[in-house]
């Protein structure tokens, strides 16, 4: 089985080197020769080897592309939308200072700092901040509450992780010599 993988990888290297059309044409030729049925055993083995290498190469490429797609889906790069960046940084800084801040306090501070943001309210985007809706309007929209709680969870998680790192980085006690 290891020889098969070695042959497939060698075949992939050849194809990458620029012989993709030639190898595809050779595989099609091998398929036609096999289908003709006029081959002795040695030629049949040779033609099947060409086909297996070509199919293995195709499966290798497809598996690599699928792997990249799934990796990106499982581990996406999380970026806040442009209209949320100011909001996210302001709320993150506030929560790093005081983790237990209430949502109303956060909204009042956002209003005082004149932070702008855009949120979907009832399935349509609305601007908050300077010359938009006031952050302090009651009741606070659910999308803003959820965004603040999501940021709160991220800040807590990062704080716990840094505490764990500090614990792991503590110097070991020196042994006392007797």
> Other C-beta atoms within 10 Å of 19: how many?
13
Per-residue pLDDT of the chain (178 residues; tens, 9 = 90+): 567 667 666 766 776 676 667 777 878 888 888 888 888 888 888 888 877 777 777 776 666 666 666 666 666 666 667 778 889 999 999 999 999 999 999 999 999 999 998 888 878 888 888 888 888 888 888 888 999 999 999 899 888 888 777 766 555 555 566 5
> Could you tell me if 118 and 83 are in contact, meaning their C-beta atoms sit under 8 angstroms apart?
yes
DSSP 8-state symbol, 136: T
Q: What integer pLDDT is reported at residue 101 of this predicted model?
A: 93
Q: What integer pLDDT is reported at residue 123 of this predicted model?
A: 80
Under 8 Å CB-to-CB from 44, ≥6 apart: which residues? 34
Q: What integer pLDDT is reported at residue 36 of this predicted model?
A: 85
Question: Interhelix angle for 20-36 vs 41-74, to 10°?
Answer: 130
> Could you tell me if 139 and 147 are in contact, meaning their C-beta atoms sit under 8 angstroms apart?
no
Q: Whole-model pTM?
A: 0.51
**CA separation for the pair 74, 90 (Å, rounded):** 28
Degrees to nearest 5, angle at CA 173 with 167 and 176: 175
Q: What integer pLDDT is reported at residue 112 of this predicted model?
A: 92
Domains of the chain, by residue range, sit at: 2-74, 82-168
DSSP 8-state symbol, 118: E
Q: What integer pLDDT is reported at residue 108 of this predicted model?
A: 92
Q: What integer pLDDT is reported at residue 104 of this predicted model?
A: 92
Q: What integer pLDDT is reported at residue 132 of this predicted model?
A: 87
């Amino acid at each position: 089985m290891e020889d098969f993988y070695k042959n497939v990888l060698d075949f992939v290297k050849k194809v990458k080197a620029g012989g993709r059309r030639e190898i595809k044409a050779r595989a099609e030729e091998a398929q036609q020769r096999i289908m003709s049925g006029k081959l002795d055993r040695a030629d049949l083995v040779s033609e099947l080897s060409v086909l297996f290498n070509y199919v293995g190469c195709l499966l290798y490429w497809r598996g690599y592309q699928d792997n990249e797609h799934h990796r990106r889906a499982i581990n996406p790069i999380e970026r806040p939308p442009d209209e949320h960046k100011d909001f996210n940084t302001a709320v993150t800084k506030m929560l790093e200072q005081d983790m237990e801040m209430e949502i109303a306090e956060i909204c009042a501070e956002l209003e005082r700092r004149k932070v702008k943001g855009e949120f979907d309210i009832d399935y349509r985007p609305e601007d908050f901040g300077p010359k938009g809706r006031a952050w302090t309007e009651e009741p606070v929209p659910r999308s803003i509450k959820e965004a603040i709680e999501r940021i709160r969870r991220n800040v807590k998680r990062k704080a716990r992780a840094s505490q764990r790192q500090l614990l792991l980085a503590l110097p070991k006690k020196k042994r006392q010599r007797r």
